[in-house]
Amino acid sequence: MTLKSVYLSMENSIELKALIRKNAHLFWYSKESEKENLPLPVVVEFFLNYANQEDIKSLFNIAGIEKVAEIFFTQINMWEHRSNYLPVMQNFFTLYFKKYVPQYS
């Protein structure tokens, strides 16, 4: 999977759009009319960096923890020396996904 394929291949589900609406403040820089259609990798990045635990769990339930982990590891491996993840969040989710998503353990 490439990030480009994720950006191009998926329209957000009704459930994901509702979760984005609930957390619209995370995407303050986006126009209101565009927030619900943000690509999943953008949603994952902002949720893992800034959302609360319950909303992250909701993201895992909607998108699938395996898909979120795949996007996360693709992003951090693609950017090696520069990541948009906060260092503490990158460390936490690296450990978390390695524990709870078998293909990354």
Predicted confidence band of residue 87 (pLDDT cuts 50, 70, 90) = very high
CA distance 40 to 88: 22
pTM of the model: 0.86
Predicted confidence band of residue 2 (pLDDT cuts 50, 70, 90) = low
pLDDT in tens, 36-52: 999 999 999 999 999 99
Q: Are 44 and 68 in contact (CB under 8 A)?
A: yes
Q: Are 35 and 24 in contact (CB under 8 A)?
A: yes
